[in-house]
Amino acid sequence: MKKLGQKLHSLFCTLGEKYWCVVEQSGRLSVAMIAVLLSCCAVPAYSQKNPWSVGIHTKGSHFLVGNAMEYAGSLVNILIAKAMYNDMSLAEYSLGDVHYLRMTDNGERIAYHMANPYGYKAYDLFNGIETGIKVGWHGVESPVGIYLYGAYGFDQYKLRFLGEEDYSKHKLHSLKVGVGIRVSPLHYLLDEYDWCPIFELGSVYVNNFAYDGPYGGDKAQINNGLRTSYAIGVQLGNKGSVAFCMDMAHYDMFNRNYTPDGGFWYPYANFKSNDMNFSLRLTYNVFGD
């Protein structure tokens, strides 16, 4: 499993490099690339007794911590599903989760030390953390489902700015609110073949309410903004699904207009960043046959 995770890590980083090369050459984002999910959320594509679903959302970029959080969240969601008379409660498991960040200062690449999803340092273990609530609706026989999402997030970055020898650590605490849809255009295939393709589109607003970095804790250094997410996968009857997921930020991490001394120095004046996450996730219906 560790070797598989390392191969996925390398593959996703390569995809990130190639993707941003296309973006920079075209000068715009392809609509086809912005098409699905917030962390592969569990809005069932299969019919259920109650079209409404409420669940705990948990996420972590580390293989062990992330899956432990998702497992704990799944236990709570089972109790909620039983109370709501749902015949589905989806447990989520990450088979690979990679955070890709590309940042430049006046066109020159800023070094970024990526967290290791299989490492055992605090920076590796406690990164890309999210915990919150999701509320979804998916009517019986409907090819479309919708969800609302709210969560607390914690992220860490190790960056080496131009002219510096050492990496500096940046910690961000955020509140995230979003909405998304799941579309199963060929849902009728479930009746005959017990599978169908699924597509999900999501959008979330990120409000960074606390920050700690080398130039102090003034949160005005950090931007807030919108992230879009997408996934494409396969629904496996009433048993669950498998999906490849990606989300990306549409704002620069650092505020180029920030000045700590009244206008004499702008430390982030020429900073630009491209930020995205890749993951491969499995959902499993614990009430399935």
Q: 203 falls in which pLDDT band (50, 70, 90)?
A: very high
227, 250 contact by CB (below 8 A): yes
Residue 114 pLDDT more than 70? yes
- CA 185, chain centre distance (Å): 24
Tell me how far apart the alpha carbons of residues 87 and 115 are, in angstroms, rounded to a whole number.
Answer: 38
The identity of residue 266, as a single letter, is Y
Which tokens belong to 261? 């001394």
Q: What is the pLDDT of residue 222?
A: 96
As a whole-number percent, the residues of the chain with pLDDT over 70 amount to 78
Q: How far apart are CA 48 and CA 92, in angstroms?
A: 18
Backbone angles phi, psi at 65, to 5 degrees: -65, -45
Which of residues 106 and 48 earns the better pLDDT score? 106
The DSSP call for residue 163 is: T
Q: What pTM did the predictor assign?
A: 0.77
Render pLDDT for 36-89 as a digit per residue (tens, 0 to 9): 333 333 333 333 567 788 888 888 888 888 878 877 887 887 787 777 766 655
What does the buried/exposed string (b/e) look like for 133-169 if buried means 16 or more CB atoms within 10 Å of the residue's CB? Answer: ebebebeeeebebebebebebbbbbebebeeeeebee
In the chain, domain spans: 2-285
Q: Output DSSP code: residue 29.
A: -
* Kind of pairing between the strands at 271-285 and 240-249: antiparallel
Q: Is 268 exposed, middle or buried (0-12, 13-18, 19+ CB in 10 A)?
A: buried
The pLDDT, as a whole number, for residue 157 is 92
Strand extents, DSSP E, the chain: 52-59, 90-105, 108-113, 129-137, 144-160, 168-183, 196-212, 225-236, 240-249, 271-285
In terms of pLDDT, which residue wins out, 228 or 74? 228
Q: How confident is the model at residue 224 (pLDDT cuts 50, 70, 90)?
A: very high
Determine the Cα–Cα distance for residues 48 and 251; give it in Å rounded to an integer: 38
Taking the C-alpha atoms of residue 268 and residue 255, their distance in angstroms, rounded to an integer, is: 6
Sort 105 into a burial class: Cβ within 10 Å, 0-12 / 13-18 / 19+: middle
